[in-house]
Amino acid sequence: MKPVILVTRKLPDAVEDRLRRDYDPILNPDDALYTSDDVIVRAKDADAILPCHTEKFTADVIARLPERIKAIANYSVGYDHVDTDAAKARGLIVTNTPDVLSDATAEVTIMLMLGAARRASEGERLVRTREWKDWSPGFMVGTQVTGKRLGIIGFGRVGQVVAKRARGFDMEIHYHNRSPVSPELEEGAVYHATPEDLMPQCDVLSLHCVASPETIGLLNAERIALLPDGAIVVNASRGVVIDDDALIAALKSGKLTAAGLDVFNNEPDIRPEYRELSNVFLMPHIGSSTKETRDAMGFRALDNLDAVFAGEEPRDRVA
C-alpha cells in the first residue's frame, strides 16, 4: 500500500499529479484554510502531513496528532510554524524546502526596494483614480537606488542573490550574518559583526533572516535610530523580525523615507497604519509566487517524503 499523505492546501497541478502517482493523498481541492482541529481529524488515517506555513503545529497540536504520523514535510522554507522541539521529542521528522525560493524571493525584494524608493503605490493610485493632472519638477520625486549602499541582514541563499541582483544597480553591498561567508560568496560585500555596526551603512536595509527567538523584533527603535536619515527598509523574510510600532513611528516622522513589505506580523490582519501610510509599498506575502518556484517547492517536499518512506535521511531535515 502507498503511504497516505494529508495535504493541507491546494498545490500546483504538477505536484498533485506526482502525489497521486506515488502516494495515496488526502487533498484539499477547495483550498480551505484548516484549523488545528481540522488537521488532526483529517490526519487520522495519514502517514505524513504536507502543510504550508498557514497551519500551526504547536506542541499541543503535535501531541494530539495520530501515532502513525511519521513526518511533517513543509511546503515552505520557513518552519517557525512548527514547534521543532516538540516534534523531536515526539520522534517526528520535519523538513522544509530551501534553495528553490531564492531567485523568486530576491526578485520580490528588488521590486519592494524599487517600489518603495520610486513611490510606486502612490503613482499607481494617482493613475487609477485619475488624480494625475500634469508634470512638474517637484512631482512624485523619489529616491534613486543606483550607486547607493544596500545593507542585508541574513546573508544566506536569498541574501546573496539579492546582493547579486543589486550589483546591477551599482549598489555597494554591506551585510550582517551570524558569521562571515567566504570571500567567493561575499563578492566584495563588506561584513559587519553586529546589526548595530551595519545600520549606519544602509541607504537601503533589506531583511533576510529566519524567524527565531533571537530575531523577533530585530529591527526595533534603537536600531532604526542608527540608520541614516531617509533610509528605506525592505522586508521579504518574516513579519516578526520587525517591531511594527517602531517602523510605523519612523515612517510617520520622516526618519525613514519609505518601506517595502511583503510579510507582516499577524498577516493578513496587519496593522492598519500600514494601509494608511502612503510611503509604504505593500505586497501580500508573494515572495515565492512564481509557477516555477511553486512547482519546485512541491517537488522538494516530495523528495523529502520519498526519502522518509525509503528509510533514508531526507535532504532538508530541520527536526
The CATH number covering residue 230 comes to 3.40.50.720
Residue 318 lies in a domain: no
Indicate which residues carry an active-site annotation. 238, 267, 285
Kindly state whether residues 52 and 106 are assigned to the same domain.
Answer: no
Kindly state whether residues 150 and 250 are assigned to the same domain.
Answer: yes
Could you tell me what percent of the chain has a pLDDT over 90? 98
Kindly state whether residues 60 and 203 are assigned to the same domain.
Answer: no
Identity of the residue numbered 173: I
- pLDDT at position 113 over 90: yes
Residue 226 lies in a domain: yes
280 forms beta bridges with 259
CB within 8 A of 275, min separation 6: which ones? 282
- pLDDT at position 315 over 90: yes
Kindly state whether residues 21 and 123 are assigned to the same domain.
Answer: no
What's the structural domain count of the chain? 2
Kindly state whether residues 40 and 87 are assigned to the same domain.
Answer: yes
Kindly state whether residues 76 and 122 are assigned to the same domain.
Answer: no
Are the CB atoms for 156 and 208 separated by under 8 Å? Answer: yes
Q: Element (H or E) spanning 191, and its range?
A: strand 190-191
Kindly state whether residues 10 and 86 are assigned to the same domain.
Answer: yes
Are the CB atoms for 289 and 295 separated by under 8 Å? Answer: no
Residue 125 lies in a domain: yes
Residue 180 lies in a domain: yes
SS3 137: coil
Q: For position 211, what pLDDT does the model report?
A: 86
Residue 54 lies in a domain: yes
For the chain, give the mean pLDDT.
97
| CA–CA dist 237, 235 (Å, integer) | 6
Q: By residue range, what is the domain housing residue 69?
A: 4-99+291-309
Q: What is the pLDDT of residues 206-215, one digit of tens each?
A: 999 988 899 9
Kindly state whether residues 141 and 273 are assigned to the same domain.
Answer: yes
Q: For position 223, what pLDDT does the model report?
A: 98
Q: What is the pLDDT of residues 51-91, one digit of tens each?
A: 999 999 999 999 999 999 999 999 999 899 999 999 999 99
Question: Could you tell me what percentage of the chain is helix, strand and coil, using 3-state DSSP and rounding each to the nearest 5?
Answer: 40, 15, 45
Kindly state whether residues 42 and 128 are assigned to the same domain.
Answer: no
Kindly state whether residues 232 and 270 are assigned to the same domain.
Answer: yes
Confidence of residue 141 (pLDDT cuts 50, 70, 90): very high
Kindly state whether residues 53 and 108 are assigned to the same domain.
Answer: no
Residue 314 lies in a domain: no
CB within 8 A of 122, min separation 6: which ones? 140, 278, 279
SS3 216: coil
Residue 132 lies in a domain: yes
Confidence of residue 31 (pLDDT cuts 50, 70, 90): very high
Helices 157-166 and 102-117: angle between axes, nearest 10 degrees? 50
Residue 263 lies in a domain: yes
- pLDDT at position 185 over 90: yes
Kindly state whether residues 87 and 126 are assigned to the same domain.
Answer: no
